[in-house]
Structure 1
Amino acid sequence: MTTSTVTTPTAEQFGERLFGAVLGAQFAQAAYLGDRLGWYRALAADGPLTPAELAARTATAERYAREWCEHQAVCGVLLVEDGRFTLPPGPAEVLTDELSTAFVMPLARMAVGFGRQVDALVAAYRSGGGVHWDDFGTDAREGQAAANRPLFLGPVAREYLPSVPDVARVLDGGGRVADIGCGYGWSAIGLALAHPGVTVDGYDLDGPSVEAARRNAVEAGVADRVRFHLADAGTATGTYDVVVAFECIHDLPDPVGVLAAMRRLSGDRGVVVVMDERVAEEFTAPGDEVEQLMYGYSLMCCLPDGMAHAGSVGTGTVMRPDTLRRYARDAGFDGAEVLPIEDAFFRFYRLA
C-alpha cells in the first residue's frame, strides 16, 4: 500500500468538486432518459427536430421532450436553431452507435440501474450481506453486455486473442472454445464471426443472460457453432482447446473453484485465458480514473453481488494481479502470466 503526496483541497474547492459530481449525476440520469425513450436515436436518424416532432416520433409527451431538449442544449449536447434540435455526429456515436468502441451510453444505463438498489445496498453494508445480480435487473444486464459488445466483436476476437500464438493456432485451425461467464454471448459470438472454423460453448448461471445470448447467436447467424448453457462451469464435461473467462472472475463467490474447472476443461494441452480489469498493481491513493471507475463498480454492484452468496471470498471489482495469481495457484495452476495486450480497461492473463 502506498500513498501519494497530494494537496489537500479547501472546503470551497472540494465543494466545487462535489457540485460537479452532482451535475454529472444529473447528466447521466438525463442521458438514461434519452436512451430509454428513444430520443437520442430519433434525433440521430431524423434531426433536426422540434420537441413536438421528437415526441410524436417516439410516442412521448411533448412537454417532457421540450424540457429534456433544453437541458441537453444547456449541457452542450444538442445544438439548437430556430427551435429545432440537432444531435451532432460525435455525441451521436457515443450515445447511439452500439458497435462503436466509443459507445459509452451503457455506462450511464448501468449507473442508473445500480442506483435503484441504494436502499438494499445500505442494508447490506450494515449487515455484511449482499445484493444479488438478479436484483440489479435489466439495466445492469443490458448495460454490461452493451458496454463490452464492441470490444468482444472487434479487438478481442480479431486482434487481442489472435496475438497469442497458441490461441491463434486454435482459432485458425477450427478448435473448440469454452467461454465461462458468457453473459449475453457477445464474446463467443465475436470469436465465431471472426474465426469461421471454431465452435464455442458458453456457460453462465444467469437465465435471462443465457436466453439473450441464444437469441443473439441466431441473429448473428452463428447458432450452428455457438451454444449457450445455463450451467455452472463445474458441471461442464469434455475437453476444450481454449478456455476463456472475460471480466467475470472478480464477480465469483468461489473463483478458485471456477478456475479449477477451467483447468480441468483445458485438459493437458488447452490454453486458459482470463480477461479482467486493468487496475493498478497495488493500492495507491489517489488513483487514476480507471481505478476510480472500478472501485465505483465494486461499491455499487460487484462486491455486493459477490457477498450475496454464502461462503463468498468477496473479491470485488478491484482484483489486482497478485490476487488472481494466488487464485490460480490455489486452483492448481503454476501461475498467471500477464499477456502483452494493451487495452485501457482490461488486462489479459494466461494461466498455466
Structure 2
Amino acid sequence: MMTSAEAYAERLFGASLSTYETFSTYVGLTLGWFAALADDGPATSTELAARTGTQERYCREFCEFQASLGVLTVDDASDPLRRVFALPAGPAEVLLDVQSLNYLGPLTRMAVAAGRRIDDLLSAYRGGGGVSWEAFGDDARESQAELNRPWFTRALGPALASVPDLHADLSRPGARILDLGCGGGWSTLALATAYPDATVIGIDVDAPSLQLARAAAAAAGLGDRVDFVLTGGEDVPGPEPYDAAFAFECLHDLPRPVEVLAAVRAAVRPGGPVVIMDEAVADEFAAPGSEVDRCMYGFSLFICLPDGMASTPSAGTGTVMRRPVLTDYAMRAGFAEVSVLPIEDFSFFRFYRLS
C-alpha cells in the first residue's frame, strides 16, 4: 500500500523508466538491432547501424541505454565509437526465440499499439464506445498471436492429453473441432498437430489475422485438415455438429459472450466438451491485487475492454474475467456446470470446461 508521497514518487519514477525501456525494446526489435547482434555477433554502434541500414547516432544512444539497463553487455572503451556491444543468450531468447516459453519480445508491440490510439481511447473513456481490434492494427494482432505461439505449439497438446476424458473426445476418428476466435491460427494448428485424425475449423472476425493463420497452415503442411472462416461467434459454421469447441483467450473480448456461448453449445454434439482458456485472475477483486491481476487490468484498460466496447450492445467484460462472471455467462447460455480443468503452469491461463 502506497501511504507516503516518497514511496509513490519512487514507484512512479520506476514505472516511467519501465515505459521507456518498453519503447526502446520495441525500437530495437523493429529496426533489427537486437537480431543483428544475435545473428552476427557483437558490434560497435557504427557496425550495427551499417548492418541494419540505420543512423549511427540513434543506434549508439539505443545501445548505451540498453547497456545502462543491463540488457546489452559492453566493453569499457573510452571512445564511444569504439565500444563493442553484445546481446547475451538470456535476453536473446526472451526477445527473439519464437519457440521458447520465455518469449516475450512481442509484448512491447501491444503497448505501442495502445499508445498509438491514446486519443481514441481518451475519447471512448469520456463519451463511451470503444476502439476496435482492427483499429489497434498489426502490432496488436501480431503481438497477440506471437505471444501465445510457443505455448500453443509446444505445450497445448501435452496439456490436453493430460486430461483423459477430454483427450478421448478429441481423439475420436474424424473428429470435428471448433476453434473460436482463432486469431493468427497457432491454436488451430496445435490442435490439428496433436490430433491428426481431426479436422479443425478456426473462426475469427479479423480478416488480417486469418491471412496470417492461412499462411502458417500452409507453411506447416496442415492446409488439408484446417479451415479458417471469417465469421463471428454467433454464426458458427455448420451444418454438421462439432465434437468439441475451444475459445482460447478471446471470450472476454466478445461484446456478446452469452449469445456466442449459446451458439457454440448448439453447434457441439451432446456431451461434447466446450473449453474456455482465459486469464487466471483471482476469483474476487482484491486491493492490492496479484501481479497477474495488475497485468490483466493494464491489458483490459488499454486493449481488451475498448475492443469489446467498440460494438453495441456490449457486456463490457474486459480482460479481468473472474470465474463467477464466466459462470454467469455459461449458465445464461444454457450450460449447467463450469469446472476448472487440471491444467497448471500454462502461462497466465486457466482452462474451464463448460457442460
Instruction: Report the TM-score range of the alignment, normalised by the length of the smaller protein.
Output: over 0.9
Letter in 2 for 1:107: L
Q: Which stretch of structure 1 is more off in the superposition, 289-298 or 226-235?
A: 226-235
| Structure 1 counterpart of 2:218 | 218
Q: Structure 2: how far apart are the matches of 1:260 and 1:99?
A: 35
1:16 aligns with 2:37: no
Q: Which stretch of structure 1 is more off in the superposition, 224-233 or 276-285?
A: 224-233
| Structure 2 counterpart of 1:250 | 252
Q: Structure 2: how far apart are the matches of 1:318 and 1:183?
A: 20
1:64 aligns with 2:67: no
Is the CA contact 2:169–2:272 (under 8 Å) kept in the aligned structure 1? no
| Structure 1 counterpart of 2:343 | 341
Q: Structure 2: how far apart are the matches of 1:271 and 1:178?
A: 11
| Structure 2 counterpart of 1:25 | 19
1:74-153 maps to which residues of 2 (within 5 A)? 74-81=68-75, 82=77, 83-153=83-153
Task: Structure 2: give runs of 5+ residues left out of the alignment.
Answer: 78-82
Letter in 2 for 1:165: P
Deviation digits for residues 124-174 of structure 1 (CA, Å, limit 9, x no counterpart): 001011111111111111111111101111112x22211222321133334
| Structure 2 counterpart of 1:329 | 331
SS at match of 2:18: helix
| Structure 2 counterpart of 1:308 | 310
Q: Structure 2: how far apart are the matches of 1:112 and 1:290?
A: 20
Letter in 1 for 2:327: R
Task: Structure 1: give runs of 5+ residues left out of the alignment.
Answer: 1-5
CA RMSD, Structure 1 to Structure 2 (Å): 1.2
Report sequence identity in percent: 54
Is the CA contact 2:250–2:278 (under 8 Å) kept in the aligned structure 1? yes
Letter in 1 for 2:340: V
Is the CA contact 2:169–2:273 (under 8 Å) kept in the aligned structure 1? no
Deviation digits for residues 189-229 of structure 1 (CA, Å, limit 9, x no counterpart): 11222332221000001010011110111011111111111
Q: Which stretch of structure 1 is more off in the superposition, 141-150 or 228-237?
A: 228-237
- The aligned length equals 345
1:162 aligns with 2:161: yes
TM superposition shift of 1:321: 0.5
TM superposition shift of 1:262: 1.1
TM-score (norm: length of structure 1): 0.95
Letter in 2 for 1:168: H
Letter in 1 for 2:315: V
Q: Structure 2: how far apart are the matches of 1:92 and 1:161?
A: 30
TM-score (norm: length of structure 2): 0.95
Letter in 1 for 2:221: G
| Structure 2 counterpart of 1:296 | 298
TM superposition shift of 1:49: 1.1
Is the CA contact 1:48–1:87 (under 8 Å) kept in the aligned structure 2? yes
TM superposition shift of 1:61: 1.4
Q: Structure 2: how far apart are the matches of 1:264 and 1:39?
A: 50
Q: Which among 286, 289, 299 is matched to residue 287 of structure 1? A: 289
Q: Structure 2: how far apart are the matches of 1:47 and 1:62?
A: 17
Letter in 1 for 2:352: Y
1:46 aligns with 2:46: no
Q: Structure 1: how far apart are the matches of 2:165 and 2:228?
A: 24
